[in-house]
Structure 1
């Protein structure tokens, strides 16, 4: 029977219910990774605010990425946690729509932020003398705001278009309200919806990826021309973390959103979503901290600092920007 979204009170999330033992293991792993994600990304945001040496475009964008990762993981993991702890596999209509919007908005913003960060590395390595002029505070704010606004607007377009489709069921074969899993409930295929998904996917995946590749082509060419081995190593170390994150994120996202619609792999899609929704946000702060002396030094300073003074500093920092 054909239903409109307005007539659906709640959706059933099937999750990994066909693998009950695996579901418990996944729940424990996801909860552990979520806590690591919260801790790691919160530390990165805190040190980027507190340490004056980290008041640079690179750490400004990294703070945006960390905040976005916290929001993204929260929206991805919460339905799975509720399902296991609360023994509820249903989600209300408004909750499902909000969860779908948030995951799309955060995912889309990350694609654009990674491209912006690649451009930042390009300017820093290829035009070091002009770097403070090109990447000034105003430009950085505009680039970050542009990424967030574009990500949120494209997510709104996709979500609102999906909400208009007639549905032939309310059981979603996924652990979260993921848009591709929801579209499989549609009674008829919509050319408009297919076009929107294709255009947004191309806009947010191959195009930023292409810009990242161009940036890194120039970066590699410049690094190879550096005479000193120390100079080359320093340039490589500042880029290797970002490049690792790009490969992890875009690799999984491209495999999911740009595969032919005829390929039915919902079980695989669940694990891919789990990877880029939970694993990647957890790895980001670890990757950026591994070979980064600035981050390690800032963390040591933070641990030695009086916590009350730290709180006062954060409050003053935010009030000064208002």
Structure 2
């Protein structure tokens, strides 16, 4: 890594992945295919929810919001990944680097809050079925969705604001995008206090929402177990299965990366784990919701029939 005068750090270098000449084109094409499929899958969910009246429920409204978020989330980092796979190291200005850090963390925290709201939606649907549509009116769900974005983009102001004030003695980031831990390793002063602040901010966003989700699903479990028939219990559980799967993917990767002191992990390990939460999870989310929900499958059939009918008309 290059040593520089910490008072004049104008740019960083994203190291990316060290792939050989033969593997690099394959890695690029594979990543590009996953990226395009991720965009197509999430766009498909958004269009399907808007086009089919059978999906005009609060649950699918929040699913479409999640898909919209994933479009931006994956597009924040994958273009730089593609560039590093194709050309190797990528110079990036410090301003662009900190903006990428902020946007990435903002979208991540927004998704965290959104998953909590989606758990609340499932709780009200199962535990308060008679009042569900009144409690989750269009106005309420719009406000809840808006609140997740405001909360996410507000909470994420802290880490990039703090790190932007620190002196950097190294410029090569052992990652394919600007993330918190690899940037902190480049700082040439003691950052113990900063780590505590970052951990508190990210811990409150993820930890409190995780506890909220666990509490809501505890209430859901108690309510479902009181249902009279096995069929009704299975139906209730099926409406939650996709959300539980997405929550498990999100928090497993988030806790792996952001819980604990960053220095405890080998340098360069972050970028491998990042492939899971920054690329694989957004790719899997539309598949999980499309394949595990009977309503989505039925909506696809209805849309297909409508398209065939239109094409047959003279």
Give me the TM-score of the superposition, normalised by structure 1: 0.89
Task: Give 3-state SS (helix, strand or coil) of 1:33's partner.
Answer: helix
- Describe how 1:94-133 pairs up with structure 2 within 5 A: 94-133=95-134
Task: Give 3-state SS (helix, strand or coil) of 2:156's partner.
Answer: helix
CA spacing shift, 1:181–1:87, aligned 2, 3 Å: closer
For residues 22-73 of structure 1, what are the alpha-carbon distances to aligned partners after superposition, in whole Å with 9 as ceiling and x for unaligned?
6554433321211111111101111111112212111111111101111111
Q: Work out the CA distance in 1 between the residues paired with 2:306 and 2:159.
A: 46
Give the CA deviation at 1:214: 0.5
Aligned to 1:63: 64
Aligned to 1:144: 145
Task: Give 3-state SS (helix, strand or coil) of 1:84's partner.
Answer: helix
Aligned to 1:268: 269
Aligned to 1:312: none
Q: Work out the CA distance in 2 between the residues paired with 1:254 and 1:33.
A: 24
Contact residue 25 and residue 86 of structure 2 kept, 8 A: no
For residues 285-306 of structure 1, what are the alpha-carbon distances to aligned partners after superposition, in whole Å with 9 as ceiling and x for unaligned?
1111112121112223334445
CA spacing shift, 1:263–1:38, aligned 2, 3 Å: same
Aligned to 2:215: 214
Q: Work out the CA distance in 1 between the residues paired with 2:15 and 2:269.
A: 14
CA spacing shift, 1:21–1:112, aligned 2, 3 Å: farther
- Describe how 1:46-195 pairs up with structure 2 within 5 A: 46-87=47-88, 89-195=90-196
More displaced stretch, 30-39 vs 82-91: 82-91
- 1:239 is the counterpart of 2:227: no
Aligned to 2:286: 285
Task: Count the aligned residue pairs.
Answer: 306
Unaligned runs of 5+ in 2: none
Give the CA deviation at 1:216: 0.7
Contact residue 46 and residue 68 of structure 2 kept, 8 A: yes
Task: Give 3-state SS (helix, strand or coil) of 2:6's partner.
Answer: coil
Task: Give 3-state SS (helix, strand or coil) of 2:12's partner.
Answer: strand
Contact residue 79 and residue 175 of structure 1 kept, 8 A: yes
Give the CA deviation at 1:187: 1.0
Aligned to 2:6: 3
- 1:12 is the counterpart of 2:13: yes
Give the CA deviation at 1:9: 3.1
Unaligned runs of 5+ in 1: 310-322
CA spacing shift, 1:288–1:87, aligned 2, 3 Å: same
For residues 134-173 of structure 1, what are the alpha-carbon distances to aligned partners after superposition, in whole Å with 9 as ceiling and x for unaligned?
1112221121111101111122222121111110111100
Please give the root-mean-square deviation of Cα atoms over the aligned residues, in Å: 2.0
Q: Work out the CA distance in 1 between the residues paired with 2:28 and 2:111.
A: 25
